[in-house]
Structure formats: structure tokens, C-alpha cells
Amino acid sequence: MPTALVEHFGISVRQLREQRGWSQEQLAALSGLNRSYVGEIERGQVIVSIVTVQKLASALELDAAGLLARSAQIGKQRQARGLQLAAIAG
């Protein structure tokens, strides 16, 4: 079920949380979400609503557009890495 965008969004949320030194419990409390749901988001197991994106962005002190843009950037970085590996493997 996970699409690349869902996976990249989860990676972005996890990286931002870890940069702040927060646990999943802390992010869940700040965003008004359940800790297990935050874990599912970070693992790319759920497609979140725009309301959830906004809650997470607010807790992480970003706007929703910034959080989504960061997720897109992760996707571009991973794609570039994949192309580099493919070129090396030849």
C-alpha cells in the first residue's frame, strides 16, 4: 500500500522529530494524535489527511507546505541516489 510519497512523508516527519530530540509520544501529544498513529505515519503505513498534515506541521513549527516540500525533497534525493547506484552498477 505505501506509495513513495507516503513513505517520504513519514521519513520527513521522523527526521524532524528526531532533530528536535522528541519521542513519538511527545510529537503525538503536541499534535493531538495517538502515538501509534504517529508511528504508522513515520513507517509510511497510512495516508494522512490534510488536517493531520497541518497538525504535524504545527507541532513541528512548520507550515503544511513546508512539511510537504521537505517530503518531496527527500523523494528527489532518493531518486538521485538510485540513479547514481544504477550508473555505478552499469
Residue 46: which residues within 8 A CB-CB, separation 6 or more? 6, 37, 40
Locate the domains of the chain by residue range. Answer: 4-89
Q: What is the pLDDT of residue 72?
A: 87
Cα separation, 42 vs 39, whole angstroms: 5
- CATH number, domain 4-89: 1.10.260.40
Q: What is the pLDDT of residue 1?
A: 47
Is the confidence at residue 87, as pLDDT, over 50?
A: yes
Q: What is the pLDDT of residue 62?
A: 97
Contact 55, 32 (CB under 8 A): yes
pTM of the full structure: 0.83
Cα separation, 62 vs 30, whole angstroms: 13
